[in-house]
Amino acid sequence: MEFGLSEDQRMLQDSLGKLLEKCAPLDHVREIADQSKAYSATVWQALGELGVAGILVPEEHGGMGQTLLDAALIAEALGHHVAPSPFVASCVMAPIALVEAGSPSQQAKYLPPLAAGEIIAGVALSEAASGVRDKAGVTASNGRLNGKALFVIDYGDADIFIIGDTGGGLHLVAGDAPGLTKIALTSIDATRSLGELQFENVEAETLTGGDAAKARRRMIDAARIMLAADTLGAGSRMIAKAVDYAGERKQFGRVIGSFQAVKHMCAEMASELEPCRSLIWYAAHSHDAMPEETSLMAAHAKSLTTDVGRFVARTATEVHGGMGFTDLLGLHFWFKRIGLNRQLLGSPERLRQEAAQMQGWVAA
C-alpha cells in the first residue's frame, strides 16, 4: 500500500522544476505572450530532451511508456511555471488516441515523431467534452470531414490534428490539408494556443485500430486530469507567491503577512487546494490501474480543483494588493492560466452533472 510518489516521480518533479526555472523564467513567458507566439520553441525543445513529448508513448514506439500520474506531475510543473508549451493535446490526448484507436501502421507512423517531439498534434474534442456552441460539429463521410471544430487544444503550429466527429469517431488530418481553414482564437491565457478548424471536404485518416468511443472517453478523462493538475501547479505557485509577498510587503509598520486577515486568506487557500492534490493523484493513477473509475474521478478532480483554483487565483491576487493587479509582477499569467483551465473541456457545473449521470443519479 503506497499512495504517494515513487522515487522516480520525485526525481522527475525535481528535474522538471529545475529545467523550467531555467528555460521558462517569467521574462521568457512574457516575451512569448507579447509576441502572441503559439508556444516557446526553447521550452518545447528542453522538455523534449527530458522525454516529456513521449511520456505516454509506449517504449516500442520510442516513448517513455510512463503512467498518467507521471503526465499529471508534468502538467502540474507546467502550470507552476506557466510554461508556454504544447502538452495536453500533443503529449497526452494524441498518444492516447493513437494507442487506443490507431491501427498498427498509424501507430508506427505517428507515435515515434510525436514521442520525439518532432511533430505537434492539436486535438479537437471540445464539442464532445463541453457541448456545442455556435453550431460547431464535424461530420465524417467517406474519409472526408465537413463542419467546424472550436477550442482546438495545442492548435498553434500543429503538424497534425486529431478530430472527434459527431458520430463518435476519431480522425487524423494534416495541418496543411487542402480545404482546412485555421483560425486562431485568442483567450485570456497567452501561454497556450487555441484555435478553430473549419473543414470543407477535407481528407482525413480515420483511426481504425480500436474502440474510438473508448479512446475519446480516455482522452477526455486524461485531459481533464491534466487541466486539474495544471491548476494545482499554478494555484500552489500563487499561494507561494502570496506568502512570499506577504512576508516582504510592509504596511502600517509591519509585514502584511503578520495581519491575521492575510494569514487566514493564505491558510484558506492552502487548505482548499491541498486535498485536490490527493484527488488528482488518485484520478491519474486510476487511468492506468482502475480505468472503470477514471471518468468519475476525472470529473471530480477537474471540477473541484478548478473551483478551488478560481478562489485561489482571486485570493492570491488580493493578498498582493494593487501590485497583484498590475502587469508588472506577472501574477496574472497564473490567474489567467487557472481561468482557462476552468472552462476548457467541461466547466465545473457540467462535470458535476456528468458525475451524477455516471452514478445513475439523473433520471432518464
Partner 1 sequence: MDLAYGPEYEAFREEVRGFISTHGDKAPQRFGVARPSDELIAWQKLLIEHGLTARTIPKQYGGYGAEPDILKSRIIAEEFTKAGLPSGIANQGISMFVPTLLELGTEAQKQEWISRTLHGEVIWCQGYSEPGSGSDLASLQTKATEDGDDFIINGQKIWTSTAASADWIFCLVRTEPDKPKHAGISYLIFSMKTPGIEVRPLKTMTGHAEFNEVFFTDVRVPKSQIVAGRGQGWFVANATLKHERGMLGDPNQAGTRLKQIIDLMHEEMLDGERLIDNPLFRDRLTQLQSRVLAMQFHGLRLLTASLKGEDPGIARLIVKLQGCEINHQLAALAIDALGEIGVLYGDSPHLRAHGSWQHRYMFDLGLIIGGGTAQIQKNIIAERGLGMPREPKVAKA
What does the alpha-carbon distance between residue 29 and residue 27 come to, in Å, rounded to a whole number? 5
- The partner residues of 256 in beta bridges, in order of sequence, read none
What does the alpha-carbon distance between residue 203 and residue 307 come to, in Å, rounded to a whole number? 40
What does the alpha-carbon distance between residue 199 and residue 119 come to, in Å, rounded to a whole number? 21
Q: Which residues, 6+ apart, have CB-to-CB distance to 278 below 8 Å? A: 3
Q: Show the site string, 10-49: x = touches partner 1 by CB under 8 A, - = not.
A: ----------------------------------------
The sign one gets for the Cα dihedral 129, 131, 136, 138 is positive
Does residue 264 interact with its own copies by CB under 8 A?
yes
30 makes contact, choosing from partner 1, its own copies, none, with CB < 5 to 8 Å by partner type, with none
* Residue among 5 and 213 whose Cβ is closer to partner 1: 5
Question: Of 136-195, which residues contact partner 1 (CB under 8 A)?
Answer: 150-151, 183-189
200 makes contact, choosing from partner 1, its own copies, none, with CB < 5 to 8 Å by partner type, with none
Give CA separation, 305 vs 123, 125, 265, 278, 280, in Å. Answer: 23, 21, 17, 11, 8
Q: Radius of gyration over alpha carbons of the chain, in Å?
A: 20
Specify whether the CB–CB gap between 102 and 110 falls below 8 A: yes
Does residue 260 interact with partner 1 by CB under 8 A?
yes
Does residue 250 interact with its own copies by CB under 8 A?
no
Q: Which of 176, 178, 252, 261 binds its own copies (CB under 8 A)?
A: 261
What is the closest distance, in whole angstroms, from the C-beta atom of residue 333 to its own copies in the complex? 29
Q: Which residues, 6+ apart, have CB-to-CB distance to 95 below 8 Å? A: 54, 56, 57, 63, 111, 114, 115
What is the closest distance, in whole angstroms, from the C-beta atom of residue 259 to its own copies in the complex? 6
What does the alpha-carbon distance between residue 286 and residue 119 come to, in Å, rounded to a whole number? 29
What does the alpha-carbon distance between residue 171 and residue 200 come to, in Å, rounded to a whole number? 15
User: Judged by CB under 8 A, which stretch of 16-24, 74-82, 166-174, 268-276 contacts partner 1?
Assistant: 268-276
Question: Of 106-125, which residues contact its own copies (CB under 8 A)?
Answer: none
Does residue 311 interact with its own copies by CB under 8 A?
no
User: Judged by CB under 8 A, which stretch of 16-24, 41-49, 208-216, 275-283 contacts partner 1?
Assistant: 275-283
Q: Which of 260, 328, 361, 364 binds its own copies (CB under 8 A)?
A: 260
* Residue among 217 and 300 whose Cβ is closer to partner 1: 300
Residue 130 phi, psi dihedral angles, 5° rounding? -115, -10
From the list 196, 88, 198, the residue with the least C-alpha distance to 150 is 196
Q: Show the site string, 295-334: x = touches partner 1 by CB under 8 A, - = not.
A: --x--xx-xx--x--x---x--xx--xxxxxxxx--xx--
* Residue among 188 and 267 whose Cβ is closer to its own copies: 267
User: Judged by CB under 8 A, which stretch of 16-24, 109-117, 216-224, 283-291 contacts partner 1?
Assistant: 283-291
3-state secondary structure of 208: coil
From the list 171, 189, 188, the residue with the least C-alpha distance to 180 is 171
What does the alpha-carbon distance between residue 124 and residue 299 come to, in Å, rounded to a whole number? 19
User: Judged by CB under 8 A, which stretch of 11-19, 79-87, 98-106, 337-345 contacts partner 1?
Assistant: 337-345
205 makes contact, choosing from partner 1, its own copies, none, with CB < 5 to 8 Å by partner type, with none
Q: Which of 259, 288, 314, 330 binds its own copies (CB under 8 A)?
A: 259
> Distance of alpha carbon 105 from its chain centroid, rounded?
28
What is the closest distance, in whole angstroms, from the C-beta atom of residue 263 to its own copies in the complex? 8
From the list 23, 62, 65, the residue with the least C-alpha distance to 46 is 23
What is the closest distance, in whole angstroms, from the C-beta atom of residue 249 to its own copies in the complex? 16
Q: Show the site string, 101-120: x = touches partner 1 by CB under 8 A, - = not.
A: --------------------
Question: Of 55-74, which residues contact partner 1 (CB under 8 A)?
Answer: 67, 69
> Which stretches of the chain bind its own copies, using CB under 8 A?
259-261, 264
